[in-house]
Amino acid sequence: MSLENTVQILYTACKAGYCVGAFNIVDYLSLEAVIHAAETHHAPVILQTSSTTVRRYGAERLVALTRTLADRTPIPIGLHLDHGTEFELIKECIKAGYSSVMIDASRYAFEENIARTHQVVELAHCYGVSVEGEIGVLAGVEDDLVVQHDKAIYTTPEEAIEFQARSEVDFLAVAVGTAHGFYKEEPRLDVETLREIHKRVSFPLVIHGGSGLSMQTLQTLVSAGAAKLNISTQLKKDYIDSLESYLSAHSNEYNPMRMLDNTHDQLVKTVGAYLQVLGSAGRV
């Protein structure tokens, strides 16, 4: 199966009442591990790349690598640009063949956010690419963006409805108390607002900041209406930790493939656990 338009994957999830995991990959190893986990658990999945990853490899190369594996599996797979802030880089991903892109203009005032988002939507839809927007401000660290917890801004249902109607974005990330990176203190999640937004809209909702949340909390967010949930930091941590632990235990071994296989297996376990709790396992 070739790459699928991300919004179609999400609408299928909305109708069936489950959530699709969106996992940030950094290289071929992590890309392959996420798809392997999705195949093992018969689950649709979204592969995400940050702007940093796109700059490192180039959008065309990332699309080619993903298609190489996507064409060999019956699993629905989307390739998504996470937190795009620069129009030229977003355009590069659109033209290269990404399934979807995110335009994150949430740091701007509401009207400016709408204008910048709509500019991307107009271009992306010409190429059959769907778009994620964001309103509200999440705390934590994402690429070069750092937001303190006391500067976070939660999304209201009225804002979500107006923003989507005017920007024509396909799916929307909302701020309900989650944060990028690991949590230094217990997050104060506004699940009721997420539930209220979900009741009042017909488009898929996205939750960022899934790393570090308990499995019970993730299930609560899914039941409240999350259709896409982002996991980035946990995958990166497990990637690095598995390399370090293997090197520590095999300091006299000079076989990189064994080390990489060990990391691959760990990432498959990590992703598989999320697919189970999000309810997407067994849906394909």
User: What CATH number does residue 17 fall under?
Assistant: 3.20.20.70
Residue with the two structure tokens 């944060």: 179
DSSP 151: G
Q: Give the pLDDT confidence score for residue 140 in this predicted structure.
A: 44
Q: Is residue 283 part of a domain?
A: no
User: Structurally, how many domains does the chain consist of?
Assistant: 1
Q: Give the pLDDT confidence score for residue 10 in this predicted structure.
A: 98
Three-state DSSP class for 183? coil
One of 71, 82, 261, 265 is an active-site residue; which one?
82
Residue 53's nearest CA partner among 20, 30, 71 is 30
Q: Give the pLDDT confidence score for residue 183 in this predicted structure.
A: 52
Residue 103's nearest CA partner among 53, 18, 27, 172 is 172
Strand-by-strand arrangement of the 145-147 sheet? 145-147, 139-142, 179-180
Compute the Cα dihedral for 91, 55, 3, 274 and give only its sign: negative
Q: Give the pLDDT confidence score for residue 173 in this predicted structure.
A: 95
Q: Is 144 a catalytic residue?
A: no
Q: Is residue 36 part of a domain?
A: yes
d(CA 71, CA 83): 26
Q: Give the pLDDT confidence score for residue 263 in this predicted structure.
A: 98
**The whole model's pTM is what?**
0.92
Count of C-beta atoms within a 10 Å radius of residue 261: 13
Count of C-beta atoms within a 10 Å radius of residue 2: 10
Q: Is residue 284 part of a domain?
A: no
Q: Give the pLDDT confidence score for residue 131 in this predicted structure.
A: 98
Residue range(s) defining the domain that contains residue 68 = 6-278
| Gap between the terminal Cα atoms of the chain | 12
Count of C-beta atoms within a 10 Å radius of residue 3: 19
Residues of the chain with pLDDT under 70: 137-152, 180-187
Q: Give the pLDDT confidence score for residue 148 in this predicted structure.
A: 39
Residue 164 and residue 192 in contact, taking contact as beta carbons nearer than 8 Å: no
Long-range interactions of 139-145: CB distance < 8 A, separation 24+ = 139/179, 139/180, 140/179, 140/180, 140/181, 140/209, 141/180, 141/181, 142/50, 142/83, 142/180, 142/181, 142/208, 142/232, 143/50, 143/51, 143/52, 143/83, 145/83, 145/85, 145/107
Q: Is residue 84 part of a domain?
A: yes
* Residue range 213-231, pLDDT digits in tens: 889 999 999 999 999 999 9
